[in-house]
Amino acid sequence: MSPEQTILWPWVAAGVIAVALVWCVVAVVVARRGRPADDVVRVAHTEHLTRLPEVRRALRWHRIAHGLGALVVLAAVVATSLLAGRPVEREVVAERLATRDIVLCLDVSGSMLPYDAAVLSVYAELTEHFAGERIALVVFDSTARTVFPLTDDYTLVGDQLAAGAEAVGIDLDRLGDKTLDEMSDGELAQVQELLAFTAGTTSLADSSLIGDGLATCALQFDEQGSERSRSILLATDNFVGEDPVYALGEAAELVASRDITLYGLYGGPTDRVGGTEESEYRSVVSEHGGLYFTLDDPGAVDALVADVLAQQAVELDADAESVLHDVPGRWYAALLLGTVLLIAAAWRVRP
């Protein structure tokens, strides 16, 4: 519903105008009664003065200044009355709280780092299409870390995804074999951002434990007793390290057993599409009824959004709330302008 501008206390505005009118009437009456009968002094042989151009011009400006002064006073009274009545913008807000939960599950192993910035950009674009859904981000390598849990704070989500994209956007090839002492301040800051973003994901000797990372993402969903639609968007190249607790297929079974929809986003080198790892990844996602995309697929975001929103979800109507915003700006400006014009008019008619 579009905002509606109104006066919150119209009786106060009316009272100010009434007081101003009474004051004007009293001032006119007192002025007329207090004027002495011989207040006018007549001077003979001065009729020709009123025909002089300079006198006529002065009289004309005198009348204009008085008229302008009266209009300005009237406008100032109206502006003052409206300010006293508190001008507000009233907006009725009725939020709809969607019961969809989405966990963004990102592989940050060494083979995925060159592609993670692009993946996080896809995640950011994806979240721009949602309103009310709760979103979480989990990153993993040998172990997993929750960057942020399920939340509908989209400002936090956007900030964290942007910070993550900047952190993983470091050009490791450019750094080469430089030690920390050999790096510039800018390079050192980039490395620190990357280490902070991936902290807690490399605590074991092995790396790229894809199935374990997916299983951890499946455990992020709370409110198991409520009717909610749950989805995981997994981004990985499926280059698996040794000795995972869960193979990718086993983790996908865990996901399915918890009534979670699995979506797959392949983020590895394009020349490996169709290879063993990518084919297995595609097959696991497809077997469990999810959609699968490669990172360079231009229709990935739209298809993911459409499928997530098509899932059965209960929308809770929050109580409608009337929100008031004070909007005195224009009337303050009118009062200030009126004051300036009144001073100018008074200066013009000064003796």
What is the crossing angle of helices 53-84 and 10-33, to 10°?
140
User: pLDDT by residue (tens digit) across 292-344?
Assistant: 999 888 888 888 888 887 775 444 444 556 677 787 777 778 777 777 777 77
Whole-number Cα distances in Å, 221 to 14, 135, 322: 57, 10, 33
Using CA atoms, how far apart are residues 323 and 92, in angstroms rounded to an integer? Answer: 6
User: pLDDT by residue (tens digit) across 136-157?
Assistant: 999 999 899 999 999 989 999 9
Using CA atoms, how far apart are residues 331 and 13, in angstroms rounded to an integer? Answer: 13
Cβ contacts of 133 within 8 Å, gap of 6 or more: 98, 100, 101, 102, 152, 308
pLDDT, tens digit only, all 351 positions of the chain: 456 777 778 888 888 888 878 887 887 777 667 655 555 566 666 666 666 677 677 777 767 766 777 777 777 778 887 778 788 887 765 455 567 899 999 999 888 988 999 999 999 998 888 877 899 999 999 899 999 999 989 999 999 999 999 998 876 666 666 666 667 777 777 788 888 998 888 865 567 889 999 999 999 998 777 778 899 999 999 998 878 889 999 999 999 999 999 999 998 888 888 899 999 999 999 999 899 999 888 888 888 888 887 775 444 444 556 677 787 777 778 777 777 777 776 666 555
Using CA atoms, how far apart are residues 221 and 112, in angstroms rounded to an integer? Answer: 25
Using CA atoms, how far apart are residues 284 and 254, in angstroms rounded to an integer? Answer: 12
Using CA atoms, how far apart are residues 339 and 252, in angstroms rounded to an integer? Answer: 73
Question: Which domains occur in the chain, in start order?
Answer: 4-38+49-92+321-348 (no CATH), 96-317 (3.40.50.410)
In this prediction the pTM is 0.62
